[in-house]
Structure 1
Amino acid sequence: MPPTFLSTEERPLFVSYKGKLYNIRAFADKHPGGRKVLERVAGGDIDVFMHGDQRIMGVKHAHSDAAFDMLERYSMDQNFKKDKLVDSGLPVMFEVGHLKEDYWRWIHEPYDGRLRLFTSDFLERLTNTKWWAVPLIWLPLVIFFGIHGIGHMYHDYGFKLGLLISSVLFSLGTLAWTLLEYMLHREVFHWRPDPKSYTQITIHFALHGLHHKTPMDSERLVFPPTLAALIIGFFYSIYISIFPYPVFCLFAGGKLFGYICYDVIHFYLHHGRPRPTTNLHFRKVYHHNHHFKDFDAGYGISTSLWDYVFDTEGSGPL
């Protein structure tokens, strides 16, 4: 059983007001309306509730100037001015391991900015990836696999049956990606390092801790092509050796397509503005709550399917 570094009482309780992040955990028990009200809105925007434009738990209340002044005391900006890693502006990759027991709390106090990782400008540039690089690099490979796979199926089974088999294999590959996405996110990215191990903390930070610390860093939201190539190459070597070539092309093409969808959707969930009540709006809030409300739930990015299967579903809009 992995150690739990943060009890329920210690976990941050984040709310957002006018795009600014606040950790009001220390105020929760003092709130006149009770802590349950604050826990209900945790992870979301509180603008409409602060101004009394919308009810929460049956109550509508326009807050006083004093309440807004009190809220300002819990601004995350104040924390970052005292954070020796964030405030210094110095490279952090080989410094986070020294946080030891404070690391798990530190990465779950999000910073709305960028952290420099390396002293070397070259290494620093390698960590930055534009979202459009993912489809630009990998979609041609999906098209190549798809054309080859469909061509073989058409030759062996004719147009209708060949197209049906191709569609099924491609869809199974995409579904397999969603399961891999879920397992990677839950078991690898959210693996909890030994708080006494400098090496484990540094590895975890490189894998996923950085993303939770700086969730709005637009150039560190998708897999760098070099890292993605290693993972894709690993599965390529497995699939090409166990599947007939046409099956390999369609299944692997579908799985690679699933990965492209995942990275593009992930970027959109952080920076897109979907219309309320749409599926993408639900997914945005669902993932937003994973970052700011309950990081031990809601592991699915492109779909919630496996969260429901494995009982780790997160929360969507109120």
Structure 2
Amino acid sequence: MFQSDLFERYSRVHPTTPFLFWVPVVSFVLWRSIGRGAPGALGISGAFLAGALAWSLAEYVLHRWIFHWHEDSPRGRRVHFLLHGVHHDHPNDKGRLVMPLGISIPLGVLFYALYRFGIGVAIGEPFFAGFVVGYLLYDGLHYAIHHFGMRSRLGRMLKKHHMVHHHVDHEGGFGVSSPLWDYLLRTMPKTKKSRVEPEAHA
């Protein structure tokens, strides 16, 4: 896909890679939080769940305003293709469905610093752990939506939501792990243009 063999190699990621890197990080951060004691089990659990919810909003914001950012110029089209256009052009490419560590690690460091120093280590670290688990849920679900049959009612709903985004309405359906923010911000995808089967691949 890319002329540079090096760029081609590092643009492809095995779907287990984010989990192999980030699960130990999350485990360590939670272990430190529990060992610290404060703010107690309820506070740690609440911060963790709040972090997971915060990821769902970050996922929506990134997808809507960063990944679907357009600038009508050769440079703008190139940036858009590298960020997200490649996925819309090749939606079933197994090597380009999860975020490369070269992107997720710098972003992780940035968000960790923001939460740790912005709201304090006692709340910031379990909040960050929940945020990362939300991200891993997103990456795992995104891969499953494109490559596995989704048999549960929830799974079929999420798959249809994402397939409509790919095939029918690119200006709606920005949530992958949840349609919550699409519903609240009125960007639920329009489905009347064509019929999209929940089990169809993108």
Instruction: Answer yes or no: same fold by TM over 0.5.
Output: yes
The correspondence for 2:153, drawn from 256, 270, 278, is 278
Structure 1 unaligned spans of 5+: 1-115
Residue aligning to 1:313:
188
- What letter matches 1:171 in structure 2? L
Pair 1:191 & 2:69 matched: yes
Q: CA deviation at 1:317?
A: 6.0
Quote the Cα distance in structure 1 between the aligned partners of 2:78 and 2:179: 29
Question: Highest CA radius of gyration, 1 or 2?
Answer: 1
| 2:170 alignment partner in structure 1 | 295
Contact 2:43 2:123 in 1 (8 A): no
2:52 maps to 174
1:124 CA drift (Å): 1.1
Preserved CA contact (<8 Å) 1:189 1:208? yes
The correspondence of residues 136-147 of structure 1 with structure 2, limited to 5 A, is 136-147=20-31
Larger relative contact order (CA 8 Å, sep ≥ 6): 2
Point out the structure with the larger helix share. 2
Count of aligned residue pairs for this structure pair: 193
1:215 counterpart residue number: 91
Residue of 224, 231, 245 corresponding to 2:107: 231
Residue 66 of structure 1 aligns with which residue? none
Q: What is the CA distance between 1:122 and its match in structure 2?
A: 2.0
**Deviation at 1:240?**
2.3
Q: What is the distance in 1 between the residues matched to 2:149 and 2:174?
A: 21
Cα distance in 2 for partners of 1:164, 1:237 equals 23
Structure 1 CA distance for aligned equivalents of residues 166 and 134 of structure 2? 22
In structure 2, the partner of 1:164 is 42
Secondary structure of 1:129's match?
coil
What fraction of aligned residue pairs are identical, expressed as a percent? 36
User: 1:147-203 CA distances to partner (integer Å, 9 max, x unpaired)?
Assistant: 1112223xx46xxxx111111000000000000000110011111222xx1111111
Q: Hey, which bits of structure 1, 4+ residues long, moved more than 6 A?
A: none
1:95-110 matches, cutoff 5 A: none
8 Å CA contact 1:171, 1:254 repeated in 2: yes
Comparing 234-243 with 220-229, greater Cα deviation is found at 234-243
Secondary structure of the structure 2 residue equivalent to 1:147: helix
Q: 2:9 aligns with which of 122, 125, 146?
A: 125
CA contact (8 A) 1:149 1:166 kept: yes
Aligned partner of 2:33 in structure 1 is 149
* Cα distance, 1:126 vs structure 2: 0.2
How far apart, in 2, do the equivalents of 1:286 and 1:244 lie? 37
Q: Say what the alpha-carbon RMSD is for the aligned residues.
A: 1.5
- What TM-score do the two structures reach when normalised by structure 1? 0.58
